Amino acid sequence: MAEFDEDRRFNSLEEVMKLLVSAEGKSFRELDSTGRINHPGSRKAKGLLGQIIEESVLGYTLNSDKMPDIQVGDDFYELKVTPLKHLRRGPAPKVSAKERLVMDIINYMTLPQERFETSTFWTKAQRMIVVYYYDDRNDTEAQAREDCKVLGSFVFHYEPDDLATIRADWEFIHKKVSEGYANELSESDTSYLAASTKGQTAESSLRAAPAPASSESPQIEAKQRAFSYKPSFMTAVARRVLNPSGSLNRFHLSPHQTLEEYVRLKIGNNAGRTVQDLSSEYGLPIRTANGSISKSFNQRLTLRLLGTESTRPEEIEQFAAAGVTQVKTTVLYQDGLPQQDMSFPYLKIKDWEELADASVQWHDSTLYRFFEETKFCITVFQGQGKNRNDCLTEDDQLVGGFLWNMPERDIENYVRPAWETVHNLMVNNKPTYYNDSDRKNRLPGKSFNGVFHMRPHGRNSKDTIELPNGEEITKQCWWLDRKYIARIVESHL
């Protein structure tokens, strides 16, 4: 390792932490002893607040090398300054990470030669000191971020099962790049450590990457990405540090078990059992008083199978950290297909307004971010008949469960065209003709591409919404086709 500057060396962690504690409760403007805030262009610089901590609190000269920031005894530490925000005000506001924690730009050409233990990522991430500050600004143009105040500083701690999942995430990214598919990376591929896009626009920030073995060219181009801890993971870490007694429930993973392995094992251990059997064991009523299936039953059953009394995925630390916000159940019948497509919440006014906004590009859209960042926990049952009318829910047999995210290739090939179709209609103020029996509906319907489409999900035809173009139509939502769901199940179980 290259020679360190003398002023970046410290004798002990206590020495470092004492200096950082002296900054608590002070704004970055107050701390800035070098006048860095007044340097031309500094106020817009992404790393301004970190530079103030380095220069004015820890007292060392800024550097741009690839090495960790400071040396403490024989160990090296990376210093990270990162914002938190309050999700709601009041006596017990929830704290959330405001952004991902970026570690290092991925060099696609050299990554295949690396091993996790000695990788450029782990060299920085293995030991970190994190400085938190609250950024609850309502108007980021009028309110300067340097007026935010330092909350506290902490030595980053990895739970054993966190580390197992992070290692598995890195190995996944490493394998995909090494095999020539860096252009198909997605943030939702992994649980805690993501290959996040890095650059002003995804389209303009491209880097060389190895090509697949079958390619005529040795290189391809892929979006510039960085090894980053997901905002969801950083939120879980922050809540754990700031309020240990109020931490979320945790799955009881073994030290070397990944979240994916845990989900498959816990649900798979009950394979072959009927819904009625599982309902009786866990004391979960299948039906409501009027005889219909309880809307919460499937999600509650999945979470019980995973070993938690929680009723929502966001209440479980590992799910919250991995961005597992969707718990879905599908039932396959004798033809190997589910009876129903998979629906998502109906589009609200703000969703239609975004679709009508000409300045919103695909990679900035809410829909792209949803599939780019979201992981699903999918539980699969086998129905004992041709369809639901031919068999009872109580007799369905559990097949298994797994974590899934939509591959980047599918996001681009199927979700994007559907979004662009609706986006172009709204931006150009064109009618959908949804309620016009004499003209063809312009919305991307079930036959659009066989994977992703839009169709009604309202209570009835009178459950409507007014679009930005003034047209009133039945509330709509996005759907995944049942045949696509069957292919997902087949590839994972």
Q: What is the pLDDT of residues 351-405, one digit of tens each?
A: 999 999 999 999 999 999 999 889 999 999 999 999 999 999 999 999 999 999 9
Handedness of CA 473, 475, 480, 483 (dihedral sign): negative
How confident is the model over 164-207, as pLDDT tens digits?
999 999 999 999 999 999 999 998 899 999 999 876 555 568 99
Task: Report the pLDDT value the prediction gives residue 242, as an integer from 0 to 100.
Answer: 87
* Residues 313 and 458 both lie in one domain: yes
Percentage, residues of the chain above pLDDT 70: 95
Tokens for 184, please give them: 């198909």
| Domain stop point among 246, 271, 299 | 246
Question: Rounded to the nearest 5 degrees, what angle is found at the Cα of 277, between the Cα atoms of 275 and 280?
Answer: 105
* Residues 236 and 293 both lie in one domain: no
Average pLDDT over residues 111-129: 96
pLDDT at 89 over 90: no
| Domain stop point among 221, 246, 271 | 246
Average pLDDT over residues 265-277: 97
Specify the higher pLDDT residue, 43 or 220: 220
In a domain, 360, yes or no: yes
- Which residue type is seen at 21? V
Average pLDDT over residues 97-108: 94
d(CA 164, CA 256): 5
Report the chain's mean pLDDT, rounded to a whole number. 92
In a domain, 383, yes or no: yes
How confident is the model over 406-420, as pLDDT tens digits?
999 999 999 999 999
* Residues 313 and 230 both lie in one domain: no
Residue 458 burial (CB < 10 Å; 0-12/13-18/19+)?
middle
* Residues 399 and 444 both lie in one domain: yes
β 452-456/101-105 pair status:
unpaired
* Residues 115 and 15 both lie in one domain: yes
pLDDT at 16 over 50: yes
pLDDT at 476 over 60: yes
How confident is the model over 230-262, as pLDDT tens digits?
999 999 999 888 887 666 788 999 988 999 999
* Residues 13 and 118 both lie in one domain: yes
pLDDT at 484 over 80: yes
Handedness of CA 478, 484, 485, 488 (dihedral sign): negative
* Residues 167 and 308 both lie in one domain: no
* Residues 127 and 150 both lie in one domain: yes
Task: Report the pLDDT value the prediction gives residue 377, as an integer from 0 to 100.
Answer: 97
Average pLDDT over residues 458-481: 90
In a domain, 450, yes or no: yes
230 within 8 A of 189, measured Cβ to Cβ: no
d(CA 293, CA 285): 9
Task: Report the pLDDT value the prediction gives residue 430, as an integer from 0 to 100.
Answer: 94
- HEC assignment per residue over the chain: CCCCCHHHEECCHHHHHHHHHCCCCCEHHHHCCCCHHHCCCHHHCCCHHHHHHHHHHCCCCCCCCCCCCEEECCEEEEEEEEEEEECCCCCCCCEEECCCEEEEECCCCCHHHCCHHHCHHHHHHCCEEEEEEECCCCCCCCCCHHHCEEEEEEECCCCHHHHHHHHHHHHHHHHHHHCCCHHHCCHHHCCCEEEEECCCCCCCCEEEEECCCCCCCCEEEEECEEEEECHHHHHHHHHHHHCHHHCCECCCCCCCCCHHHHHHHHHHCCCCCEHHHHHHHHCCCCECCCCCECCCHHHHHHHHHCCCCCCCHHHEHHHHHHCEEEEEEEEECCCCCECCCEEEEECCHHHHHHHCCCCCCHHHCHHHHHHHHCEEEEEEEECCCCCHHHCCHHHCEEEEEEEECCCHHHHHHHHHHHHHHHHHHHHCCCCCCCCCCCCCCCCCCCCCCCCEEEEECCCCCCCEEECCCCCEEECEEEEECHHHHHHHHHHHC
* Residues 206 and 69 both lie in one domain: yes
Task: Report the pLDDT value the prediction gives residue 368, as an integer from 0 to 100.
Answer: 95
pLDDT at 1 over 50: no
CA gyration radius, the chain: 25
* Residues 272 and 415 both lie in one domain: yes
Q: Which residue has the tokens 């409501």?
A: 288
Which domain does 379 fall in, by range? 259-492
Number of structural domains (the chain) is 2
pLDDT at 469 over 50: yes
118 within 8 A of 59, measured Cβ to Cβ: no
43 within 8 A of 144, measured Cβ to Cβ: yes
Average pLDDT over residues 149-157: 95
Q: What CATH number is associated with residue 406?
A: 3.40.600.10
Average pLDDT over residues 333-351: 94
* Residues 341 and 241 both lie in one domain: no
Task: Report the pLDDT value the prediction gives residue 87, as an integer from 0 to 100.
Answer: 82
- Which residue type is seen at 261? E
